[in-house]
């Protein structure tokens, strides 16, 4: 009987596992895939999450944060306007292939019992729990589900019975002479594409990552063709990797708990990637879920009480980010006639733009 089983070895799951293990509780971390591997992601790691990340990584891996390209500015290319917003504190651009592997290795080095290529098939009970996997059954007093936005354990919550528009995520690396040190977001009808410099094992490159409606584009060249400035810029690029893709992308209100199981990261809720806060929310919610369980492991409170604490803390500290992000998203899909004057206003009053970005942190 483990104190906790964490499902999913992404940023949320590893943050939870490391936090539990440091408190001396017994923990089993289960991951369906293997690391290192590429994931579709803009790889914008918000500055607000860097201190927590640095505390989670072990000493061998904090170098990743030091070597990361810093992003002190965001540029929004929309309707022929460029809106520049300072990113303060500066964000870091970190390739997920390195990032997820560093967190995984740090979990292993923190004496987390960690198994890759072990897919969780079902969870039974209300505490204790029985977790059935491709590698056998395991029991635990508590379960944290950090299996991402679209796993066999979260798809039903994400889909919610409604036929959704189909959105895709696409990513690839390119070389570009002297890339600008900014996160550049190119918006077009039916999607957007982010471009930012990234350090690829010591070599400079850029990450182009798009979120697009499936009926609008299904490849990165199709995406580049949707925005004149992006098309022009992409003519100077040489591919450095094969593209990777993911689908579907479904936004929903966060749900931090389900049947006594703590949900962390994207499995609790998927925030629109353009705010660049998904990784930060993942590590913060993973750590928070683990912290809320510690008094339960010590026998001071019941599991129900620990889950309630997590739900309340999540609603107070993390849910506001989802609300601010959906307000911003609604603004971007306003009719052009309303959007253009609004953007003009924002370019003239950068403090308002900065305030809006701050609300998504
Ligand atoms: C197009 C796009 C661009 C993005 N850009 C950014 C960005 O620039 N900045 C940012 O902060 N965020 C961005 N995000 C969001 C970010 O990628 C996620 O928020 C983040 O990866 C969430 O981490 P997680 O640990 O919750 O989930 P994941 O990283 O998805 O990890 C979940 C893990 O669970 C494992 N798993 C799934 N099912 C099972 C199972 N049954 N058993 C065992 N293991 C299982 C998976 O293999 C996976 O490794 C972007 C997302 C998309 C789609």
Closest Cα to atom 33 of ligand 1: 8
The predicted model gives 220-232 an average pLDDT of: 97
Q: How many A from CA of 148 to the centre of ligand 1?
A: 5
More confident site: 26 or 155? 26
Q: Which range, 45-49, 251-255, 335-339, 348-352, is most confident?
A: 45-49
Q: Residue 325: pLDDT above 90?
A: no
Once rounded to an integer, what is the mean pLDDT over residues 109-117?
A: 97
Distance between CA atoms of 67 and 259, rounded to whole angstroms?
41
Say yes or no: CB of residue 254 within 6 Å of ligand 1.
no
Q: State the distance from the centre of ligand 1 to the C-alpha of 152, rounded, in angstroms.
A: 14
78 C-alpha to ligand 1 centroid (Å):
27
Percent pLDDT > 90 in the chain is 75
The 10s digit of each residue's pLDDT in 73-111 is 999 898 788 888 899 999 999 999 999 999 999 999 999
Mind listing the pLDDT tens digit for each residue in 242-267? 999 999 888 778 999 999 999 999 99
User: Given this model, what pLDDT does residue 101 score?
Assistant: 98
The number of the ligand 1 atom at minimal distance from the alpha carbon of 194 is 8
What pLDDT, on the 0 to 100 scale, is given for residue 155? Answer: 76
- Predicted pLDDT of residue 229: 96
Q: What's the mean per-residue pLDDT of the chain?
A: 91
Q: Note the pLDDT of residue 271.
A: 87
Q: How far is CA 133 from the centre of its chain?
A: 25
Q: Is the CB of 41 under 6 A from ligand 1?
A: yes
Is the pLDDT higher at 145 or at 277? 145
Q: Is the CB of 76 under 6 A from ligand 1?
A: no
Residue 3 Cβ < 6 Å to ligand 1: no
Q: Name all contacts of 303-311 with Cβ < 8 Å and 24+ positions apart.
A: 303/127, 303/141, 303/142, 303/260, 304/260, 306/142, 307/257, 307/260, 307/262, 310/256, 310/257, 310/262, 311/256, 311/257
The 3-state secondary structure of 269-320, one letter per residue: CCCCHHHCCHHHHHHHHHHHHHHHHHHHHCCCCCHHHHHHHHHHHHHHHCHH
pTM: 0.94
């Amino acid at each position: 009987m483990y104190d906790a089983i964490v499902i999913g070895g992404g940023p949320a799951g590893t943050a939870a596992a490391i936090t539990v293990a440091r408190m001396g509780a017994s923990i089993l971390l289960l991951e369906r895939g293997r690391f290192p591997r590429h994931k579709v992601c803009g790889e914008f790691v918000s500055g607000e999450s860097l201190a927590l990340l640095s505390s989670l990584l072990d000493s061998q891996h904090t170098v990743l944060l030091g070597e990361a390209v810093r992003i002190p500015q965001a540029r929004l290319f929309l309707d022929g306007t460029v809106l520049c917003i300072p990113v303060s504190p500066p964000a870091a651009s970190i390739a997920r292939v390195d990032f997820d592997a560093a967190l995984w290795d740090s979990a292993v080095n923190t004496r987390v019992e960690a198994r890759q290529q072990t897919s969780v098939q079902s969870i039974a009970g209300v505490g204790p729990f029985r977790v059935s996997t491709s590698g056998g059954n395991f029991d635990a007093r508590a379960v944290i589900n950090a299996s991402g936005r679209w796993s066999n354990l979260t798809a039903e919550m994400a889909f919610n019975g409604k036929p959704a528009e189909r959105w895709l995520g696409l990513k690839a690396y390119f070389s570009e002479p002297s890339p600008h040190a900014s996160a550049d977001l190119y918006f077009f009808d039916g999607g957007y594409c982010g471009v930012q410099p990234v350090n690829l094992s010591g070599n400079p490159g850029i990450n182009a990552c798009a979120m697009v409606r499936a009926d609008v584009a299904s490849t990165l060249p199709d995406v580049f063709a949707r925005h004149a400035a992006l098309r022009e810029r992409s003519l100077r690029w040489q591919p450095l990797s094969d593209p990777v893709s993911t689908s579907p992308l479904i936004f929903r209100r966060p749900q931090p708990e389900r049947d006594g199981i703590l949900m962390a990261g994207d499995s609790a809720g998927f925030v629109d990637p353009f705010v660049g806060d998904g990784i930060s929310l993942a590590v913060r919610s993973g750590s928070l879920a683990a912290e809320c369980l510690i008094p339960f492991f010590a026998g001071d409170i019941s599991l129900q009480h620990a889950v309630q604490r997590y739900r309340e803390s999540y609603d107070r500290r993390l849910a506001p980010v989802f609300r601010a992000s959906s307000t911003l998203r609604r603004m971007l899909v306003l009719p052009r006639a309303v959007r253009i004057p609004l953007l003009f206003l924002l370019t003239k009053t950068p403090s308002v733009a900065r305030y809006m970005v701050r609300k998504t942190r």
